[in-house]
């Protein structure tokens, strides 16, 4: 038996599965594509997560596209992160091309152009349904990890959440949380200290600076209402096809903090909301994270640990996650080890560092009797990739160099008119794009402060009036006393008093028959 025949038997055995599966393309030995030797993915293993890696221009995005459109046809919804803006074309059928026909003839499958039902989502001002979440939905642990806080600062965040809950102060957006912190270190300081103990103003200031940093990346528009319901990601259209939700992120590339914040919250909400699914024949939802390095570049160790835990556990909810990036080394090793499906496009070796990266990348794949993996990784053409998947028993399949099929949908962006048509008929746009700013912690505390300051001002006025009244009363008393004293102490008054006293004395002495000394003196002076 020739080497080619042995390879064909190995591929047919490794990639033939019971139950539904997706066709990625045809197996290759050297530069030759083996017609009808198909490389498949068992649909029931897609919740084991996956990796799509390769240098720029090698076809990663198109690989994502062919998986998502086949998932839709099988009734599996998906969520796609569209960083470059070229995934929206999945909504309309491909225009076809002779090169596509040639490729499919070599693989041994017919080409049929078709589009998929699409929902456009947005974190910013891009067209589509706005994704938002409230601060309270994050919870204190996830919110602290998102901000990269230490234990002391995380404790203050936990107190803020507890205080808000006990005081019936809804935490909906970032201004609510900032107001809570200001209140806890300002007007409400004594109350908070009585309940929870003293808190460092330095730590509170550090938290405030992290929030300002997050706001600088546009997170203020993400936090708030109407909060997105993750069940809206699992919808089917009237034909039973899974809806492809495309999150347009073309204006978020320079704001990785916002992107990683959204992803972590979304995964945490899905894990908390979705029921346990058990062993399904197909996933309930598959999430594709394009430019995945943006998730990890700004992530703290605590955030990475949280993400790793969610990825391990979320598969039991029937959810699969695919990371799409240039090099497998962009993914932390602990998370990379959780990815069962690996599709590796070409890597380019321009420097010694590149060659080392290729060597490391090749070690992520099963040992092959048919390929020099290090060498072939640099020789793969556009639309070719190394593929290995997990079978239904969780074992990695034979490594297969694969000629990938072409997307059935357009491999380009939609026009503005086509995008507007999708947005106009979207039920989610009507549901989520209405701005809601109901009374929450910020407004309640602002009103309390106004009332408190008004009462304080009123009390001060009353106090001033009372002091003025008392001052007036004391002043009047002093004025009356001073006038009387002035009269009594004046020289004229004293003279009059002496004269009156003398005349009275004279009168009294005369009545008693006694002659005063003055009278006697007067008489003797007459002789």
Name the average pLDDT for the chain.
82
pLDDT in the model for residue 516: 44
Closest among 37, 29, 36, 81 to 60, alpha carbons compared: 81
User: What is residue 514's predicted lDDT score, i.e. its pLDDT?
Assistant: 44
Give the tokens for residue 84. Answer: 């470059």
Lowest mean pLDDT among 224-238, 274-288, 376-390, 424-438: 424-438
Q: Which residues contact 454 (CB under 8 A, 6 or more apart)?
A: none
* Assigned token pair, 471: 């001052």
Query: How far is Cα 431 from Cα 206, in angstroms, rounded to an integer?
Result: 36
| pLDDT above 70 for 418 | yes
What is the per-residue pLDDT across 324-372, written as a single tens digit (0 to 9) for each? 998 888 888 888 888 989 999 999 888 888 888 888 888 888 888 899 9
Chain mean position to CA 293: 17
Strand-pairing partners, residue 21, are: 42
Structure tokens, 221: 């528009």
Give the CA diameter of the chain: 183
Band (pLDDT 50/70/90 cuts) for residue 522 is very low
Q: What are phi and psi of 13, to 5 degrees?
A: -70, -40
| pLDDT over 60 at 313, yes or no | yes
* Chain-centre distance for alpha carbon 481: 76
* Confidence (pLDDT) at 13: 92
Cα 69 to Cα 5, 47, 142, 404, 411, distances in angstroms: 32, 17, 33, 14, 12
Output the pLDDT for position 482. 52
DSSP state of 276: P
Using 50, 70 and 90 to split pLDDT, how confident is the model at 454? low
Q: What is the mean pLDDT of residues 88-101?
A: 93
Give the torsion sign (CA, 323, 328, 332, 334).
positive
* pLDDT for res 306: 78
H, E, C per residue of 335-366: HHCCCCEEEECCCCCCCHHHHHHHHHHHCCCC
Position 424 scores a pLDDT of 93
**CA distances, 476 to each of 405, 473, 488 (Å):** 104, 5, 19
Q: What is the pLDDT of residue 343?
A: 95
Rounded to two decimals, the pTM is 0.79
Q: Is 409 within 8 Å of 94 (Cβ atoms)?
A: yes
- Residue 213 has a pLDDT of 84
The pLDDT tens digits of the residues spanning 143-164 come to: 887 788 888 999 999 999 998 8
Beta bridge partners of 287: 79, 321
CA atoms lying within 13 Å on the CB side of residue 390? 18
Identify the residue with better confidence: 450 or 150.
150
Query: Which contacts of 274-281 are long-range, i.e. CB under 8 A and separated by 24 or more positions?
Result: 274/230, 274/317, 274/318, 274/319, 275/317, 276/316, 276/317, 277/316, 277/317, 277/318, 278/316, 279/44, 280/44, 280/47, 280/318, 281/19, 281/20, 281/43, 281/44
Residue that the structure tokens 């090698």 belong to: 58
Which residues does 54 contact at the CB level (< 8 Å), separation at least 6?
A: 60, 326, 344, 345, 346, 347, 380, 385
Query: Tokens in use for 103?
Result: 């490729």
pLDDT, greater one: 40 or 304:
40
Cα(19)–Cα(24) distance, integer angstroms: 16
Q: How confident is the model at residue 93 (pLDDT cuts 50, 70, 90)?
A: very high
Q: Sort residue 83 into left (φ over 0), alpha (ψ -120 to 50) or beta.
A: alpha
Question: Do 354 and 343 meet the contact criterion of CB atoms below 8 Å apart?
Answer: no
Residue-level pLDDT at 513: 46
Is pLDDT at 182 greater than 70 in this prediction?
yes
Residue 22 has a pLDDT of 95
Residue with tokens 């919808």: 235
pLDDT at 524 (0 to 100):
37
Which pLDDT value is given to residue 509?
A: 44
Average pLDDT of the residues in 307-317: 87
320 HSE (CA, 13 A, CB side): 28
Higher-confidence residue: 205 or 279? 205
pLDDT over 90 percentage in the chain: 38
Q: Rounded to 10 degrees, what is the CA torsion of 27, 28, 29, 35? A: 70
* Spatial separation of the C-alpha atoms in residues 37 and 388, rounded to whole Å: 15
Per-residue pLDDT reduced to its tens digit, 242-266: 999 999 887 666 676 777 777 778 8
């Amino acid at each position: 038996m020739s080497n080619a025949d042995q390879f064909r038997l190995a591929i047919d055995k490794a990639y033939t599965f019971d139950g539904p599966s997706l066709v990625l393309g045809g197996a290759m030995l050297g530069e030759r594509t083996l017609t009808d030797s198909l490389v498949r993915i068992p649909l029931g293993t897609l919740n084991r997560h996956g990796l799509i890696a390769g240098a720029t221009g090698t076809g990663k995005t198109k690989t994502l596209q062919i998986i998502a459109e086949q998932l839709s046809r099988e009734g599996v919804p998906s969520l796609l992160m569209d960083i470059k803006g070229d995934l929206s074309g999945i909504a309309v059928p491909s225009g076809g091309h002779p090169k596509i026909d040639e490729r499919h003839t070599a693989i041994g499958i017919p080409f049929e152009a078709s589009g998929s039902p699409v929902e456009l989502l947005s974190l910013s001002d891009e067209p589509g349904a706005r994704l938002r979440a409230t601060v309270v939905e994050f919870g204190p642990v996830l919110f602290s990890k998102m901000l990269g806080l230490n234990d002391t600062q995380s404790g203050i965040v936990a107190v803020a959440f507890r205080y808000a809950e006990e005081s019936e102060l809804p935490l909906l957006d970032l201004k609510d949380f900032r107001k809570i912190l200001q209140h806890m270190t300002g007007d409400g300081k004594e109350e908070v200290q009585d309940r929870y103990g003293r808190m460092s103003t330095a730590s509170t200031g550090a938290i405030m600076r992290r929030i300002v940093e997050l706001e600088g990346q546009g997170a203020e528009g993400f936090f708030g209402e109407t909060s997105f319901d993750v069940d809206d990601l699992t919808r089917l259209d009237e034909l039973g096809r899974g809806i492809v939700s495309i999150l347009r992120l073309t204006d978020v590339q320079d704001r990785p903090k916002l992107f990683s914040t959204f992803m972590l919250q979304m995964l945490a909400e899905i894990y908390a909301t979705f029921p346990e699914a058990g062993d399904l024949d197909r996933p309930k939802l598959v999430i594709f994270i394009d430019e995945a390095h943006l998730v990890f570049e700004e992530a703290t160790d605590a955030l990475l640990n949280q993400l790793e835990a969610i990825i391990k556990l979320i598969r039991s909810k029937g959810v699969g996650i695919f990371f799409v990036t240039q090099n497998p080394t962009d993914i932390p090793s602990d998370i990379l080890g959780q990815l069962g499906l690996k599709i590796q496009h070409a890597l380019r070796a321009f420097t010694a560092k590149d060659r080392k990266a290729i060597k490391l990348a090749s070690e992520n794949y099963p040992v092959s009797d048919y390929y020099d993996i290090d060498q072939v990784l640099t020789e793969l053409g556009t639309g070719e990739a190394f593929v290995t998947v997990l079978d239904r028993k969780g074992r990695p399949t034979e490594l297969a160099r694969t000629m990938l099929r072409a997307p059935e949908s357009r491999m380009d962006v939609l026009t503005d008119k086509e995008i507007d048509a999708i947005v106009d008929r979207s039920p989610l746009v009507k549901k989520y794009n209405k701005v809601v700013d109901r009374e929450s912690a910020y407004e309640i505390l602002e009103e309390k402060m106004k009332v408190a300051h008004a009462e304080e001002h009123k009390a001060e006025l009353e106090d001033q009036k009372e002091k003025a009244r008392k001052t007036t009363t004391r002043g009047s008393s002093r004025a009356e006393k001073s006038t009387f004293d002035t009269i009594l102490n004046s020289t004229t008054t004293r003279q009059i008093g002496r004269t009156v006293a003398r005349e009275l004395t004279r009168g009294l002495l005369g009545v008693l028959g006694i002659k005063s000394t003055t009278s006697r003196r007067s008489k003797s002076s007459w002789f």
